[in-house]
Amino acid sequence: MRDPVVVATGQTYDRESINLWIESGHSTCPKTGQALVHTSLIPNHALKNLIAMWCRELKIPFETAEGNDRVNGVIKNKAALEATKMTASFLVSKMAASQSMEEVNGVIYELRTLAKSNSDSRACIAEAGAIPVLARYLCSDVGAGSLNLQVNAVTAMLNLSILEANKTKIMENGSALNGVIEVLRTGATWEAKGNAAATIFSLSCVHSHRKRLGRKTRVIKGLMDLARSGPAGPKRDALVAILNLAGDREAVRRLVEEGVVDVVKEVINVLPVEAAAILEMVVRRGGITAVAAAHNAIKKLGTLMREGSETARESAAATLVTICRKGGAEMVVELASIIGIERIIWELMESGTVRARRKASSLLRIVRRWAAGLDGGFLEGRSAVATPSSSSSRVVISV
């Protein structure tokens, strides 16, 4: 850290690192999670002097930009910002006035590219009034007439949505939000549908937006259809958006009604990490009955824990722990019936990530306590009474 600065929450960060964080569209403190009431960066001279002294003592070079460089940098930044504002204003005006679809497509592609570059560009484009104009080119009629135009329009909207302030602008503009949903449902290409799903994901990163989107039947149906039938890339975009929406209990109810558990079972071999994470979230938010009723869901997770990637094995173990604790003895019985399950768990305890080893340990404890006829702590809201049988112990549930 050569240039420490203090943010609005009082935390100190390296200037370059926190600048990248803010320019990526984040509006919260990385350490505390608190909202940044402003994005001004205040130099921490005391810490900087300590670092400089330490470097001198250890004979480590410590070079910093001096006054003139800083002043020139500010001037250059201001000039660049003004140039971006002018460019954005020119492009939006041209897009709004043009009668040629070919010309509009070229302009929107320029806006799409500019919006991808940094947060200042995203802010300037939105402030120039681009969002309602872009919304015109999201409808199905446009997609039928020009495939590239619809893709460019929804991708520009996606890039704009990365900025926190723009998320609200899109959500508050009925034409823009409905346009994104229409592309998700009836987009002319898989790319357009996938980018619409990615836009839903981006918008749903804000809690209040997530609740609102999760209550829209068209959003749920669009994501579910894409997850079922889309190719790998758009399918993943849909699953990631579903995972975000599943943070809301009402959205989980709607997802379950639309068959999310069956869809996840279908895609778990293709996109295991996302599929396992969705199952875990569904269970946590009141969907345990649907998961319990799904044929072979637990066995698929057991297979994933044995054969998946490191991340997939971790997700599968975490999901199984949640399912067993929420679902009770019936879920543990199904897990314990998997041939070689203890060996699978042991292997994960030996070679998995730190979190995977921890979850595997919990899973082994649950299975063994069930086998011994004990309440392994996996029952919620029920009491377990162990009763012996001739060959093994079983658990009788008293509700």
User: In this structure, are 253 and 267 located in the same domain?
Assistant: no
| Residue where one domain finishes, among candidates 57, 72, 96 | 57
Mean of pLDDT values over 26-50: 75
Is residue 195 situated within a structural domain? yes
Residue 205 sits in a domain of what CATH number?
Answer: 1.25.10.10
Note the residue count of the chain.
399
Structural domains counted in the chain:
3
Segments forming the whole domain that contains residue 360:
263-399
Instruction: Specify whether 240 is located in the same domain as 315.
Output: no
Most confident of 30-34, 113-117, 199-203, 309-313: 199-203
Q: Are residues 111 and 133 in the same domain?
A: yes
Within a domain: residue 133?
yes
Cβ(398)–Cβ(383) below 8 Å: yes
The pLDDT of residue 299 is above 60: yes
Q: Residue 65 pLDDT > 70, yes or no?
A: no
272 and 387 both lie in a single domain? yes
80 contacts: CB under 8 Å, gap ≥ 6: 120
270 and 219 assigned to the same domain: no
pLDDT of the residue at 68? 46
CATH at residue 32: 3.30.40.10
Residue 68 lies in a domain: no
Q: Which of 41-45, 56-60, 378-382 has the lowest mean pLDDT?
A: 378-382
What mean pLDDT value characterizes the chain? 84
Same domain for 109 and 242, yes or no, is yes
CATH code of residue 351: 1.25.40
Same domain flag for 203 and 332: no
pTM listed for this prediction: 0.73
Domain boundary (226, 243, 258) is at: 258
Nearest one of 119, 117, 118, 110 to 87, comparing CA atoms? 110
Tokens coding 334: 């199904």
Minimum mean pLDDT range among 20-24, 55-59, 208-212, 342-346: 55-59
Query: Do residue 157 and residue 53 come from a single domain?
Result: no
Residue 73 within any structural domain of the chain: no
- What is the amino acid identity at position 355? R
Of residues 169 and 371, more confidently modeled: 169
Residue 74 lies in a domain: no
Alpha-carbon distances of 394 from 265, 282, 292, 333, 368, rounded to whole Å: 29, 28, 19, 9, 12
Would you state the pLDDT for residue 30? Answer: 83
226 and 149 in one domain? yes
Q: Note whether 269 and 254 are same-domain residues.
A: no
Three-class secondary structure assignment of 88-117: HHHHHHHHHHCCCHHHHHHHHHHHHHHHHH
Residues 237 and 108 in one domain: yes
Instruction: Give 277 or 31, the one with higher predicted confidence.
Output: 277
Place of tokens 């996109």: 271
Output the pLDDT for position 76.
Answer: 52
pLDDT at residue 325, rounded to an integer: 87
338: left (phi over 0), alpha (psi -120 to 50) or beta: beta
Find out whether 223 and 267 touch, Cβ atoms under 8 Å: no
Encoding tokens for residue 285?
């938010």
pLDDT at 55: 76
Q: Judge if 281 and 236 occupy the same domain.
A: no
Q: Tens of pLDDT along 200-220?
A: 999 999 999 999 999 999 999
The DSSP symbol for 353 reads: -
Last residue of a domain, one of 210, 233, 258: 258
Any domain includes 181: yes
CB neighbours of 83 closer than 8 A, spacing ≥ 6? none
pLDDT at 63 (0 to 100):
58
> Residue 150: inside a domain, yes or no?
yes
Q: Supply the DSSP string of 222-282, one letter for each residue.
A: HHHHHHHHS-HHHHHHHHHHHHHHTTSHHHHHHHHHTTHHHHHHHHTTTSHHHHHHHHHHH
97 in any annotated domain: yes
